């Protein structure tokens, strides 16, 4: 809480790092698989990308895009199948830079597209998504940074067969950032 207050207090200070930045990297998701007949938690790999517009010194508007993939899912409706979860999220990111280290907190809202299938049967759902979280970026050069870690609680609301569920996922992302000066 104190961290967020300190970042908010420094929001209106003068100076600007870069106007835009683009992130791309790998993500690991601890996936909540409440799909009927599936095991409760599973892990999935995928990708995470975002574009950030630095509106103020410590406030950015972020568009985040991600995809997670898991094979060998067994449910009541799908045997030996795959699950794919895609998210499109938008929202604010608050950050505070100290030297080369830039911690941040963000609150993103959007939608997901989730599908589970085995080639014969495919279940598809689209719904609300939310991702509060944060992370740490470290500058390497004026234009290149490394996202050392990003951790999000990722809520995906899905509906399969008339049953609506909240999937309580957690994701960790790492990767590279290009800062446009």
Indicate if the pLDDT at residue 102 is higher than 80: yes
SS3 content of the chain, % helix, strand, coil (to 5): 5, 70, 25
How far, in Å, CA of 75 to CA of 40, rounded? Answer: 11
The contacts of residue 69 (CB under 8 Å, 6+ apart) are 44, 45, 46, 82, 83, 84
Task: Please state, for a pLDDT cut of 90, what percent of the chain lies above it.
Answer: 55
pLDDT of residue 180: 93
Dihedral (CA of 172, 58, 94, 56) sign: negative
Q: Are 169 and 31 in contact (CB under 8 A)?
A: yes
How far, in Å, CA of 47 to CA of 32, rounded? Answer: 18
pLDDT tens digits, one per residue of 5-64: 334 444 333 344 679 999 999 999 987 766 555 556 678 899 999 999 999 989 999 999
Q: What are the structural domains of the chain?
A: 2-8+20-180 (2.40.160.20)
């Amino acid at each position: 809480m104190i961290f967020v207050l300190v970042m908010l207090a420094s929001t209106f200070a003068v100076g600007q790092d870069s106007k835009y930045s683009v992130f791309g990297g790998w993500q690991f998701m601890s996936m909540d698989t409440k799909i009927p007949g599936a095991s409760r938690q599973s892990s999935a790999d995928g990708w995470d990308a975002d574009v950030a517009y630095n509106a103020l010194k410590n406030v950015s508007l972020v568009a985040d895009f991600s995809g997670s993939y898991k094979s060998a899912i067994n449910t009541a409706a799908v045997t030996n199948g795959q699950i794919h979860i895609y998210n499109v999220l938008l929202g604010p990111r608050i950050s505070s830079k100290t030297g080369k280290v830039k911690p941040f907190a963000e609150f993103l809202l959007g939608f997901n597209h989730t599908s589970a299938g085995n080639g014969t049967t495919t279940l598809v759902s689209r719904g609300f998504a939310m991702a509060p979280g944060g992370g740490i970026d470290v500058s390497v050069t004026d234009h290149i940074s490394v996202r050392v870690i990003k951790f999000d609680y990722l809520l995906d609301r899905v509906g399969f067969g008339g049953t609506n569920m909240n999937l309580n996922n957690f994701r960790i992302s790492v990767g590279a950032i290009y800062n446009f000066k």
